[in-house]
Amino acid sequence: MWGYYFGLALRSSGRNKALTALVIMLLAFGVAACMVSYAVFRVTTGNPVPTKSSQLFVPQVDNVGPSYNWDGDPRAGLSYNDAMALWKAHEAKRQTILFASTWQLNPADRPTQAMSLNGNAATADFFPMFDVPFLFGSGWTADDDARHATVAVISQHLNEMLFSGRSSIGREIRLDGQLFRIIGVLKDWNPRPRFFDIGSHGTTAYSFDDAGDIYVPFTRATDMKKDSKFVFCPTASWQSDTVHWDAYLHSECDRIDAWVQLDTPAEVVHYREFLHNYAAEQQRLGRFAWAPNVRLRNLTDWLSYQLGTPRVSSLSMLVSGSFLVIVLVNVVGLMLARFMRRAPEIGVRRALGASRAAIYRQFLAEAVTVGLFGGLLGVVLTLLGVLGAEHLFAPNIARLVHADISLITLTVLVAVSATVAAALYPTWRAAQIQPAWQIKIH
C-alpha cells in the first residue's frame, strides 16, 4: 500500500516540477545550514574522556584573595606550593599536577636543526588517569617522579618524524640541552577539547589545539627551571624569574593544573573536606587572610565553567536554527498551495470511497518523498559547507569539523522529519475537502 502512495507522490511531483523543486531546494539549504553548524557545535562541546568524566575532578584553592578571583571563584591554576601540597597528601586514588611548556628539541644521535615543540611536565598518574593509549612502551612511574628521572614520552607524530614510525624505546633526545631517554610513544592521542592544561595555557583559545609532542616528569622539569606557558602573579615582583628561581617557585604565582580521580560520591565528599581543611590551615598559618575558598569540579562541569559553549558555534546554531524555522514556514505555505491545487482530485477520490485516513497517508507519503530528495541535496550542501568551514570559523576549530556517516544520516532524517512536520497542516486541510462541493463545482 505504501508503495502505491509513493508512486502517486512521484507522479504528482512530476506534474508540479517547479513547485516541488522549490520546496526541495529550500529544505536542502535550511537543513544543510543547520547540519554544518551542528558539525561545529559537536566538536566544540564534546566529552574528551566519556568513560570517566564523572570521576575526574579539578581542585581549586584561592591563594591570591578576593581581589584577584573570578566572580568569587578561585583562579584556574594552582601555585607551586599548593600543587605540591595536594599531590604529596595522596588523598585521591590517582592525582597529577602538570603545566604546559615549550621545549627545544635535538635528536641525540644525529645533527638535526632544533625544533620548538609543545608539551607538558606532569606526574606519573597523568597517563592512567586520562586513559592515554600507547603505541610503544609506557609512561613513567611514581619512583621516576621521586628520582627526578630524565625520561620522556613522545607523541606518535614526533616518533614518525624522528624515527620513521619505528619503536624508539631506549633512544635519546636532547630537550633544552639535556638528554632524555624515551620510554613511551603515544598512540595518536589528541583529546578535544584539550582539557587537561587549560589553566597553564591561560586562554581558552588553545583548547582546540593539538595535544603536545613531549611529556616529561614534573620534578625533572622543575629542576631545569622550566616554567609554564602562562603565569598569573598578583604582584609584579613575582613574575617569571629563572635567576631567582627558588623565590619565584615558592611565590603565590598560579601556573599549575591539578587533577584527581575520585571514584565514589564518598571520595568526592572526603576530598572536598580535605581541600577546605587545607585552606583553613593556610589561613591559620597566616598565609591566607581570607576564609577558605575552594572548589572541586568534575570534568564536565570544569569544561562548562572554563569554556562554556564557544560563542561562534552557539551563534551559528542560533542563526541556522532560525533560518530553518523560516524555511519551514515557507515550506508549509508551498505545500499548502501544492495540495490545495489538487482539490478536485481529492474530491473525486473521496467520492469514490477513499477515507480521510487514505488522504492522510497519500499526502504524508508525498511529504516523505520530497523530504528524502531534500535530504539528499542537503547532504551535498552539507559536505560543501564542511569543506568551507575555514572561511567561517577559527582555523583550530574549522580543521576539526568533519562529515561522517552519523552526520549524513542525521541530515536525511532531519530533512524528512522537517518536511513531514511542515506537511501536517496542509495534509489536514486537504483531508477536510468536501467531495460533494468539488463534484458540484466541476
Position 114 pLDDT exceeds 50: yes
Cα dist from 209 to 203, 256, 402, whole Å: 12, 19, 16
- Average pLDDT of the segment spanning 393-400: 66
pTM score over 0.85: no
Cell of 362: 497519500
pLDDT band at 344 (very low <50, low <70, confident <90, very high): low
| pLDDT confidence of residue 240 | 61
- Average pLDDT of the segment spanning 345-358: 62
Give the residue, 13 or 275, on which the prediction is more confident: 275
Position 217 pLDDT exceeds 60: yes
Position 441 pLDDT exceeds 60: no
Position 424 pLDDT exceeds 70: yes
Q: Which residues contact 249 (CB under 8 A, 6 or more apart)?
A: 80, 222
| pLDDT confidence of residue 176 | 92
| pLDDT confidence of residue 304 | 78
Most confidently modeled range among 105-119, 191-205, 284-298, 325-339? 284-298
Where does residue 291 rank: exposed (0-12), middle (13-18), buried (19+ CB within 10 A)?
Answer: exposed
Strand-pair partners of 106: 174
Each residue's pLDDT tens digit, 58-80: 999 999 999 888 788 898 889 99
Per-residue 3-state assignment (H helix, E strand, C coil) for the chain: CHHHHHHHHHHHHHHCHHHHHHHHHHHHHHHHHHHHHHHHHHHHCCCCCCCCCCCEEEEEECCCCCCCCECCECCCCEEHHHHHHHHHHCCCCEEEEEEEEEEEEEECCCCCCCEEEEEEEECCCHHHHCCCCEEEECCCCHHHHHHCCCEEEECHHHHHHHHCCCCCCCCEEEECCEEEEEEEEECCCCCCCCCCCHHHHCCHHHCCCCCCCEEEEHHHHHHCCCCCCCCECCCHHHCCCCCCHHHHHCCCCEEEEEEEECCCHHHHHHHHHHHHHHHHHHHHCCCCCCCCCEEEEEHHHHHHHHCCCCHHHHHHHHHHHHHHHHHHHHHHHHHHHHHHCCHHHHHHHHHCCCCHHHHHHHHHHHHHHHHHHHHHHHHHHHHHHHHCHHHCCCHHHHCCCCCCHHHHHHHHHHHHHHHHHHHHHHHHHHHCCCHHHHHHHC
Q: Distance from CA of residue 268 to its chain's centroid? A: 25
Most confidently modeled range among 10-14, 286-290, 405-409? 286-290
Position 168 pLDDT exceeds 90: yes
| pLDDT confidence of residue 80 | 95
Position 166 pLDDT exceeds 80: yes
Give the residue, 66 or 342, on which the prediction is more confident: 66
pLDDT band at 325 (very low <50, low <70, confident <90, very high): confident
Position 149 pLDDT exceeds 50: yes
Query: Long-range pairs for 63-67 at CB < 8 Å and ≥24 separation?
Result: 63/252, 63/254, 63/282, 63/287, 63/288, 64/232, 64/234, 64/252, 64/254, 65/234, 65/288, 65/289, 65/290, 66/290, 66/293, 67/234
Position 293 pLDDT exceeds 90: yes
Q: By percentage, how much of the chain surpasses pLDDT 90?
A: 38
Contact 144, 124 (CB under 8 A): yes
Position 312 pLDDT exceeds 70: no
- Average pLDDT of the segment spanning 415-430: 78
Most confidently modeled range among 270-279, 323-332, 426-435? 270-279
| pLDDT confidence of residue 319 | 75
pLDDT band at 214 (very low <50, low <70, confident <90, very high): very high
Where does residue 429 rank: exposed (0-12), middle (13-18), buried (19+ CB within 10 A)?
Answer: middle
| pLDDT confidence of residue 173 | 93
Strand-pair partners of 117: 103
- Average pLDDT of the segment spanning 51-59: 93
| pLDDT confidence of residue 171 | 94
Position 285 pLDDT exceeds 70: yes
| pLDDT confidence of residue 71 | 81
> CA nearest 216: which of 188, 179, 246, 251?
179
Helices 356-387, 2-15: axis angle to 10 degrees equals: 70
pLDDT band at 11 (very low <50, low <70, confident <90, very high): low
Position 277 pLDDT exceeds 50: yes
Position 135 pLDDT exceeds 70: yes
| pLDDT confidence of residue 438 | 46
Position 207 pLDDT exceeds 80: no
Position 155 pLDDT exceeds 50: yes
Position 2 pLDDT exceeds 60: no
Give the residue, 28 or 154, on which the prediction is more confident: 154
How confident is the prediction for the chain on average, in pLDDT?
82
